[in-house]
Amino acid sequence: MSNSIIRVEALHKSYVNGSNSLHVLKGIDMDIQKGEMVSIMGSSGSGKSTLLNILGILDNYDAGSYHLDDIHISKMNETKAAKYRNQYIGFVFQSFNLISFKNAMENVALPLYYQKVSRKKRNNLALEYLERMGLREWAHHLPSELSGGQKQRIAIARALISKPKIILADEPTGALDSQTSLEVMEILKEVNQTGIAIIIVTHENDIANQTQRIIRLRDGVIESNQVNHAFHLESVEVN
Amino acid sequence: MFDKDRWQEIFNAIKQNKLRSVLTAFGVFWGIFMLVTMTGAGNGLINGVTDGFKDFAANSAFVWANTTTKPYKGFRQGRQWNFTNDDMASIRREIPEVDVLAPKLQGWNISNGENVIRGLKTGSFRVNGEVPDYNLIDPNEMVYGRYINDMDIHHRRKVCVIGERVYEVMFEKDEDPVGEYLKVSGVWFQVIGVARSKNPNINIGGDKKEMISLPFTTMQQSFNYGNDVHFFGFTSRAGESVSETAEKVTQLLKSKHSIDPEDLEATGHFNVEEQVKTMNYMFLGINVLIWIVGIGTLVAGAVGISNIMLVIVRERTKEIGIQRAIGARPWTIVSQILTESVFLTTIAGFLGLALGTLVLHAADMAIMAAEAAKTSEEGTFFKNPEIGLPMALIALAVLVLTGLIAGLIPAQKAIRIKPIEALRHE
């Protein structure tokens, strides 16, 4: 039993569009440990979103292998994919992606709905998670009545409620101002402290610098994969 | 099945575009409404028509003699001939398939002018000679008194049964006619009853309301018809075909009267069984037509629902993507779309069913009111437009099925949405 939550070896992915084939990922190798907080950086077109989609079992890959918590993820039917997504992965998106006609509590509780948890139980749990995000009193508000930061915190609560092993965050602060970004990052770090691995896709150095490891992608290959010393210094300072 | 989250989504989808939902639902509403009202109207027609002959013996036929058209055994063509009492006895004796046999006389020559007189009242009515058994072919109910019986026949009593119109003209309102006398074509007859036919839509040999029926034997004697039988009705025994029996009867008559068996014109007959069959095929045709039009309209409505569900799926692409990303299984999405489609169809269909039934009820009331107010004695050809419980249940099943089918394509489309594409969809 290895200690890695995500293990990717020689991953290839191309998009075929008519007669054109676009080779997006050209052999990615990476290994993310349980409880690690990693950022993936790269300019647009570097393949970072594609990689995140594959990691999130939202997309499949052409060659190589992908192990999630030592389970080999290969081509699978949607029902099974949905089950793995629900059990192992929490998603946080740039545009929050909350369901507009459900209030905060219902949005948070939604993953449990798909696990067939009873309504009362999942709503109570959702309230608990909202409490942790400091949004208890906003539980019955619709997303349209909340600020960007609040929405992202609700999205994080939703990602956490199914007790995932890993959180995939796609530009989680992309739509937020710097102050709110900071708050959201603090929350993500707190989440990370509880032992959940976090992968953040970002193009902001400020954000990347707050993670333990920075993986830089360029043209579908890993350009660098370094431990972020700034993070360790910071944690040393904190401790 | 009842799941608040699912219904929340459905109501949200409907609420977000109220006008669109209403217009879409209208298609199905209209389909069911048409189906219900048309079926009701069809049933009304069938009820109205069959009500006019439902008691008439369906296994009966009438036979009469025509001029011959072929020379045979030394006789020239174009010969006039008549059935006789002997013929009736022969049929009875030789053709066991015949059940009821009712010879009839038709008094054309004594029904001219004002042929019926009572005091100062006069009238012009047809006179027929009947046997008691005729009541088994074309049943009457008696408004007053009784019908002709065997004693009348045996003793050649000078009695008569009159139709309702005859009673109205020859008697005062509410006067008891039994025991009174009418002078019919110069001979006095005692009235023994007033008959009302249970089959007003079938009239053979004149309008039954304006008919005076005399005992068959009395009429032969009193008006000098000798042994003549002008025509007769018969029924075949259970299990025997009416047309085959009629063929046997006519062949027997032809051989007795030296008529070429090949001479098809020499006898005429009217086969009630055939007529009823034809009528039933016509009703079947009407029903098939109604269902084709109704189902067609319903299909048009379902296509509308399907279309709008596609739009809804497209609008919700992102939402579906999110749901998939956080663990919704394809079946969750499919059942969501199907429930929505069935819900929309069923609600619309129910309203259509309700309004259709209401319209039929109103029509029924109007017809009954019109009938009550009507003074003339015209028969109705439209009665009790209605749809039965089975029909309503079938409509319900058709609705649910329609909703399912209408939701199928959009649901297929919804699960083909890849979460990743849906999330990209802005």
pLDDT tens sequence for chain B (426 residues): 467 777 777 787 777 778 888 888 888 888 888 888 888 888 888 888 777 777 888 889 999 999 999 888 888 888 899 999 999 999 999 999 999 999 999 888 887 788 899 989 999 999 999 999 999 998 888 999 999 999 999 999 999 999 999 999 999 988 999 999 999 988 999 999 999 888 877 777 778 888 999 999 999 999 989 999 999 999 999 888 898 999 999 999 999 998 988 888 889 888 888 888 888 898 899 889 888 888 888 888 888 888 888 888 888 888 888 888 888 888 888 888 888 888 888 888 888 888 988 888 888 888 888 777 765 555 566 777 777 778 778 877 888 888 888 888 888 888 887 777 666 654
A85 and B327: CB-CB below 8 Å? yes
My answer on whether B301 and B414 are in the same domain is yes
B319 and A95: CB-CB below 8 Å? no
- Dihedral of alpha carbons B54, B55, B56, B58, sign: positive
My answer on whether B281 and B418 are in the same domain is yes
Residue A229 near residue A209 (C-beta atoms within 8 A): no
My answer on whether B41 and B129 are in the same domain is no
A115 and B327: CB-CB below 8 Å? yes
B330 and A95: CB-CB below 8 Å? no
Question: What are the structural domain ranges in chain A?
Answer: 4-238
Chain A residue numbers touching B324 (CB-CB < 8 A): 78, 82, 85
- B211, part of any domain: yes
- B83, part of any domain: no
Collapsing DSSP to helix, strand or coil, B141 comes out as strand
Chain B residue numbers touching A93 (CB-CB < 8 A): 423
- B76, part of any domain: no
For A56, nearest residue in chain B (alpha carbons): B325
- B182, part of any domain: yes
Domain count, chain B: 2
- B242, part of any domain: no
**Which of A86, A114, A142 should one mutate to test binding to chain B, selecting the residue with the greatest count of B CBs within 10 A?**
A114
User: Taking the CB of residue A142, how many other CB atoms lie within 10 A of it?
Assistant: 16
A101 and B12: CB-CB below 8 Å? yes
Domain of residue B226: give its range: 110-233
Closest to B329 (Cβ–Cβ): which among A79, A97, A110?
A79
For B12, nearest residue in chain A (alpha carbons): A101
- A193 to chain B, closest Cα gap in Å: 23
Complex-level ipTM: 0.82
Q: What percent of chain A has pLDDT over 70?
A: 95
B271-275 long-range contacts, Cβ below 8 Å, gap at least 24? Answer: B271/B61, B271/B242, B271/B243, B271/B246, B272/B56, B272/B57, B272/B58, B272/B59, B272/B60, B272/B61, B272/B62, B272/B202, B272/B242, B273/B58, B273/B59, B273/B60, B273/B61, B273/B241, B273/B242, B273/B243, B274/B242, B274/B243
- Rounded Cα distance, B129 and B220, in Å: 8
CATH 3.40.50.300 for domain A4-238, yes or no, is yes
Closest to A99 (Cβ–Cβ): which among B322, B330, B418?
B322
DSSP H/E element including A218: strand A213-218
My answer on whether B338 and B211 are in the same domain is no
Burial of B161 (0-12, 13-18, 19+ CB in 10 A): buried
My answer on whether B174 and B115 are in the same domain is yes
DSSP B378: P
Collapsing DSSP to helix, strand or coil, B70 comes out as coil
DSSP H/E element including B282: helix B272-315
Collapsing DSSP to helix, strand or coil, B193 comes out as strand
A79 and B330: CB-CB below 8 Å? yes
pTM above 0.80, yes or no: no
Any chain A CB within 8 A of the CB of B325? Answer: yes
- Rounded Cα distance, B65 and B83, in Å: 7
- Rounded Cα distance, A2 and B196, in Å: 101
- B99, part of any domain: no
